Amino acid sequence: MNTHRVNDAMSYDPSEYNLKIVIDIEHQAYRNIATDRVTQISIGGETHRSASAEE
């Protein structure tokens, strides 16, 4: 993915808001993920939780 090209179309810098641009394969669309708020992620059928999600 060419993130430089995606960022050129935005009126803000996603990195200033702890955002990562990812592609949603299921919906064939780009999404912004706030990396400072992620508590759980599922990859390949495995779910991983952060310490804050365990509380």
Parse the chain into domains and list their residue ranges. 3-54
- DSSP-derived secondary structure for 1-43: --HHHHHHT-SS-GGGGTEEEEEETTTTEEEEEETTS--EEEE
* 40-43 and 46-49 strand pairing: antiparallel
Burial class of residue 14 (count of CB atoms within 10 Å of its CB; 0-12, 13-18, 19+): middle
Structure confidence by residue, pLDDT tens digits, 3-54? 555 556 778 888 889 999 889 889 999 999 888 888 888 888 999 998 876 6
- pTM of this prediction exceeds 0.75: no
